[in-house]
Amino acid sequence: MKPLGPIPAGYDALNGELVIAGQTVTALVAKAGGTPLFVYSRELLDQRVATLRAAMPKRLALHYAVKANPFGPVLEHMAGLVDGFDIASGGELAIVQAAGIDPARVSFAGPGKRDAELEAAIAAGATLNLESEGEAARALGIANRLGITPKLAIRVNPEFDLKGSGMKMGGGAKPFGIDEARVPALARHLIAEGVDWRGFHIFAGSQALSADAIIETQRQTLALAARLAEESGAVLPKCNLGGGIGIPYFPGDEPVDIAKVGAALAERFADLPPVLQGTAFVMELGRYLVGEAGVYLAQIVDRKESHGEVYLVTDGGLHHQLAASGNFGTVVRRNYPSAIATRYGAAVEEEASIVGCLCTPLDRLADKGGFPRADVGDIIAIFCAGAYGASASPAMFLGQGPAREMLV
């Protein structure tokens, strides 16, 4: 048998069923009208943000990266928990506006912003994190045409990256941000143009589980921000330190020691150079805030054997959970935390693979895991489904369509 990833804390059983936010999975599926279904827990979202705030210096603001999960009810709930939102497209700007979020709380990063997106963000009063000199010139031209003073920051491509991160966003040639050596000149130009100067966005990587690596990256980020601010010759009003804090998905993964990260950052804040004394600092997080608060539920529609191997065929699959299938940037496929939700906590009886309904061998949600015996009608659960699930998967592949979603 192949090991399964660790199931996050906060999930219980009642009469042999998985319970999410006090409700059994069968009750949730009935309420939603069927499967496949993503369920997100308000209580777990609240707990995660509260735990993070308690660990971090009070000076640090928290932003939610919308790309992790843009489900409207989740955004509306997060609006009361975090200080701001980070988006990566004009579409996400429209989504946060539809959720009733003030664009003044929003910053917009991402390469390849089209003119229409720049104009929408400037008109709405969102902060643009500029990714190139060309984008800066276009933003200034649009703002001048609109007669609006734009809120502009520079996304910096640092020379360093976040060691051990699942996705490196800095260091060397990158499509993201402006190489650090060219940042001061652009900052001076923007300030001379009379923009509402909002500072730097420095994001070196994501999905890291090492507290020491995160601490070192934050040290380097603060040192870089100070040097660039001095070379720019202006006060640095704000600095987005990025995020990078991951969650355990796979066997052997351990959660980040948040208390250690927070304590180290507090020490740094207590000894900032003069140029950063008045700077507002932000940490931008997505999956760490919402990932473990979500569960993907699918129903077994067939149980079959082939050459002695058991396959539990579900009505879900990679079109909703691309990452769990191992097809979202994973080099070696490993099992996400998963379970038979209607036999939750029961003893392991067999080795089985959980597969989806798509006509491709890539559609495998759990590979040769140990499970209690499950049959047609049972519900499977894939955990850590609160981030990069529904919106990061090819829902229309083979005409399958999206999954249901609910916040409870």
Average pLDDT, the chain: 95
Could you give the residue range(s) of every CATH 3.20.20.10 domain in the chain? 70-285
Interior angle at CA 290, CA 284 and CA 295, nearest 5: 160
Considering only the top CATH level, what class is 70-285? Answer: alpha beta
Q: How far apart are CA 353 and CA 309, in angstroms?
A: 8
φ/ψ (deg, to 5) at 216: -65, -40
Q: What is the pTM of this model?
A: 0.95
Cα 124 to Cα 167: distance, rounded to the nearest angstrom: 31
Alpha carbons 382 and 260: distance in angstroms, whole number = 29
What are the start-end ranges of the E strands in 249-345? 280-285, 294-306, 309-314, 338-340
- 12-40+293-407, CATH topology level: Lyase, Ornithine Decarboxylase; Chain A, domain 1 (2.40.37)
pLDDT in tens, 343-371: 999 999 999 999 999 999 999 999 999 99
Please check the confidence at residue 160 and state whether its pLDDT lies above 80.
no
Residues of the chain with CATH 2.40.37.10: 12-40+293-407
- Pick the residue with more confidence: 159 or 76? 76
The mean pLDDT value for 305-320 works out to 98
Given a cut of 90, whether residue 168 has pLDDT beyond it is no
Residue with tokens 């489904």: 385
